[in-house]
Amino acid sequence: MLLILSYLSKLRKMWPITLQWGLLLGVVAASARQNILQVPNSYQSYDHGLFKPAEDLSILSETEFTTLSHPAFPRYGVRIKKSTFCDETVKSYTGYIDIEARHLFFYFFESRNDPDKDDVIFWTNGGPGCSSSLGLFMELGPCRVLDANGTKFHPESWNSNANIFFVDQPIGVGFSYAEYGETVGTTEEAAKDIASFVSIFFEHFTKFKGRAFHMAGESYGGRYIPVFASEVYDQNARLVEAGLTPINLASIMIGNGITDFFSMIPSYFDMACTPVSVPPILDISTCVRMKQALPRCQKWMKESCVDQFDSMSCGAAMSFCDAEIGAPFFNSKKNPYDISKDCEGEISDTLCYPVTKHISSYLDRPSVRKLLGVSDSLNTTKFTSCSNNVGRDFAFNMDEFHPTQYHVAALLERGIKALIYVGRNDWICNHVGNEKWTSQLEWSGGAAFSTQALREWNVGGKKAGMTRSANGLTFATIDGAGHMVPYDKPKESLELINRWLSGQELTLQWSCVLGIITTSAQQTFLELPSRHNSFDQCPFNPIEDLSVLSETEFTTLGHPAFPSYGVRIKKSSFCDATVKSYTGYIDIEARHLFFYFFESRSDPDKDDVIFWINGGPGCSSSMGLFMELGPCRILDANGTKFHPESWNSNANIFFLDQPVGVGFSYADYGESVSTTEQASKDIAAFVAIFFEHFSKFKGRAFHMAGESYAGRYLPVFAADIYDQNARLVEAGLTPVNLTSIMIGNGLTDFFTMMASYFEMACTPMAVAPILDINTCVRMKQALPRCKAWTQSFCIDQFDSMMCDAAMGFCSSEMWDPVFASGINPYDISQECDGGVDDTLCYPAIEHISNYLDRSSVRKALGVSDTLNSTKFSACSKEVEHAFFSGMDQYHPTSNHVAALLERKVKVLIFVGKNDWVCNYLGNERWTMDLDWSGGEEFSGKPLREWSVDGKKAGMTRSAQGLTFAIIEGSGHMVPYDKPEESLEMVNRWLSGKEL
């Protein structure tokens, strides 16, 4: 990517569609199926006397090239010589890869440690068109050229523990050349040459055969390396067929790469206009214009470059994005490779780093060229760090608009590890864009990777950056570094590579003292000790009794099994003086989730534990606490009032504000959670930490309950807790006794629910029809189309764009008429009291918010001071928008429910009959259709009446652990509308009785 800026002004004149960051577009000229390896017939291999390897590099001359070839690669040869320069402590070599009339120059340095055993690294710089001499003499090589005095020994070279290549590629870069003007214009063409060279080298120098081989690069290396590595991997099958030794491709390492151009473009706004690395560097008016242009840029790119590649339209789209998103940054004169600095010199002259000119001057010395064996045909050619001609050829072929994240996924699926490391201060190939594509990568380990929190990694006891790792994929940021991490942070980059080569996690190994451990590929947040040690043998002392907690200060809890998590908790005597109550935060690095905990009114030392969340997504569980099932209620401006039908009558109970941004939960630096799966990891870790610390609750029956969007949340949360139990046992910890989930008026299957809206509004299924005939006729006519579209685009095959369009249609035809009617969508037997957006049709919500804005209340609860200037909001629009933008609601969790039932976790689905938005018809339908071993028995049972104190409460159906219950006279919030019935229902459920 370094080249991109140097020929920018020329390209903009020649090609109207060129991007500011220097990328045009490309046709792949070489067939991806082209076979450059010539395979012998089945009766003969190359080991049968046709080929004798050179075997030992020590036989090479210092003055003349030795020419290597191989019958398997008749078009390829390698010229190589000793070249003692740069670092006299190791053997070094230079030479050419000869592809007929094309010749690629390379440097090779043996390891300073153990060249006969250490791994082999292949390095290429980016551009496209930049010489790997930049990597050698400026970043990670055995010597550096930092001024006019020539080379200087580099103690943090990557050859400290590895043998390493630096290759000038493709043709026309650095000292590489073509005899008759031949060129390479695509990454795929270049890959064939690299794969052949690698095979020839390993075949000749047998002491390196079978060594772990790592392909590394930076910048446009994010496009190169995945394709090069894929070619090497695929070539292995042909090597084996030819009787040759396959390459032991172990990993790829990409530094500040441009792997997915389309993920990178939107991140340019974040890097320039938000404090994701440094304070915003562009003025407000410019940032506003960029923000307004961004949606059009993304939409146009997606339509013309991603969904269907149209070279002319894609070029036009990228030209627009260039002008609106890229150009403002370049006009600022900041260094695009390190936004913490100004550009030093002209970009086209120095790439903002004057050292590049010293490198060019050094490589123009005749004595140096002679020592390296540079071709005489280049005697009259000045060395240039980056070739404008090569960059233009790649740009003309639109090469950069072919993302290679699918190659990365394919390599991961084949056991090839991938390290994506990024200096935080780079703009052009930044950490935001790289984290985005790695988190969204589709592969079998994707869920484990994307749901893991970023964790701090350290060098010498100091923070080096943040990292996330799972199943062979590691993403790492390096604080204080720009585009060229080894240049800016040599010690940290060497430590990063050494840990990677040795197979260690960046966070190093677990210790009892620190509570840090290598992350297992089988989990995302629970850290296991070795099989010979358990956490019970480590310095972890649980708090046996909650009574030791302070009323004025938080007690902080941690556990070595969960190094990224902590819990702050304090006594908070409020709401119900008859029981002990507590509040606090779950701390997940820079994210903090607020909770309330009330002991049981009956027998807190024996009663079950209930975990409660409200829905939204984005609504605070203070609604459940103060309006529905908590020990006190706030129904007017007078504050709290004792609630006799609280669910803590016979259970200990949590209320949790989740995810981050909801209620009193907050993030230090604006971090957010936008999927249920992300939120779930935090919940599971918190639950385990709580039970480990407060041992009197260990082994208690644990029930997860909630309403509304909790129909999406709870099945996923419970599944994570269940799956986590196996890892707890392996770690010598006590598993959580997950007994049941209880979902009230839940949105478990969005698509089944959508179809029920007509029946609830236009037929007397709960109350008399609430909409006029004309509206109902229109809804009835739209319903088949709504069902067909959602089935085709959301269920049979999920197409995010088409599914969103289908749901937009369904919403306008099935949803909007009810909200326009003035009826309370949460209880269609009533008018909406106040606006839906303002009070959710329940004025009590305003009273709750006012109560929680009292400074005395916040102090008693221990609410963070960072929220002092923030008004309490029952529901967060920002969180709701984040979840809906990610289409979280379009992922039904009925399959999670089935899986829990199969594992003997009971399920209660209870529904107020008068609710419209998450109604009983939709909930009954999905429970009847649920595919599980008890499904036939459950669906074959009729609904039966259930009663409280001799009066009908509703109807119910139950079989093999699944219970469905209707509560008559109730709307969306059953404990609010029918407190006596809801408490009786829960008490029967906890005691194991049928309703």
**Nearest to 702, CA basis, from 607, 629, 602:** 607
Higher-confidence residue of 12 and 265: namely 265
Res. 46 pLDDT band, cuts 50 70 90: very low
pLDDT at 11 over 80: no
Pairing of strands 608-613, 651-656: parallel
Name the residue with higher pLDDT: 280 or 518.
Answer: 280
Statement: residue 942 has pLDDT above 90: yes
Give the DSSP H/E element, type plus range, for residue 312.
helix 311-321
Residue type, 574: F
Active-site residues, by number, are 219, 426, 483
pLDDT at residue 186 above 50? yes
Q: Are 464 and 495 in contact (CB under 8 A)?
A: yes
Instruction: Please write the tens of the pLDDT for every residue from 282-329.
Output: 887 787 788 888 888 999 988 888 888 888 888 888 889 989 999 999
For 200-258, write each residue's pLDDT tens digit.
888 887 888 899 999 999 999 999 999 999 999 999 999 998 888 999 999 999 999 99
Q: Is the pLDDT of residue 538 over 60?
A: no
Confidence of residue 461 (pLDDT cuts 50, 70, 90): confident
pLDDT of residue 524: 38
How close are the terminal C-alpha atoms of the chain, in Å? 67
Selection from 621, 198, 223, 539 nearest residue 401 by Cα:
223
What is the structure's pLDDT at 986? 97
Q: Check whether 48 has a pLDDT greater than 50.
A: no
Give dist(CA 749, CA 923) in Å, integer.
Answer: 8
Report the 10 Å Cβ neighbour count for 776: 17
pLDDT at 747: 94
Tens-digit pLDDT profile for residues 364-373: 999 999 999 9
Task: Give the separation between CA 566 and CA 557, rounded to whole angstroms.
Answer: 6
Percentage, residues of the chain above pLDDT 70: 91
What's the mean pLDDT in 160-178?
94
Tokens of 323: 């002008």
pLDDT tens string 826-877: 999 999 998 788 788 999 999 999 999 999 999 999 999 999 999 999 999 9
Q: Nearest Cα to 953, choosing from 982, 976, 929?
A: 982
What per-residue confidence (pLDDT) applies to 26?
24
Over residues 333-356, mean pLDDT: 91
* Residue whose C-alpha is closest to residue 342's, from 226, 427, 274: 427
Q: What percent of the chain has pLDDT over 90?
A: 58
Residue pair 715/741 in contact (Cβ under 8 Å)? The answer is yes
Using 50, 70 and 90 to split pLDDT, how confident is the model at 541?
Answer: low
Residue with the bigger pLDDT between 29 and 662: it is 662
Q: pLDDT band for 21, please (50, 70, 90 cuts).
A: very low
Q: Is 15's pLDDT higher than 60?
A: no
Mean pLDDT of 812-837: 90
Beta-bridge partners for 592: 587, 666
Q: What's phi and psi for 257, nearest 5 deg?
A: -90, 160
Q: Tens digit of pLDDT for each residue in 482-537?
A: 999 999 999 999 999 999 999 988 885 322 222 222 222 223 344 444 333 344 43
pLDDT digits (tens, 9 = 90+) for 615-653: 989 999 999 999 999 999 998 888 899 999 999 999 999
d(CA 762, CA 814): 11
Is the pLDDT at 449 greater than 70? The verdict is yes
Contact between 128 and 399 (Cβ < 8 Å): yes
Could you give the angle at which helices 405-413 and 221-241 cross, rounded to 10 degrees? 40
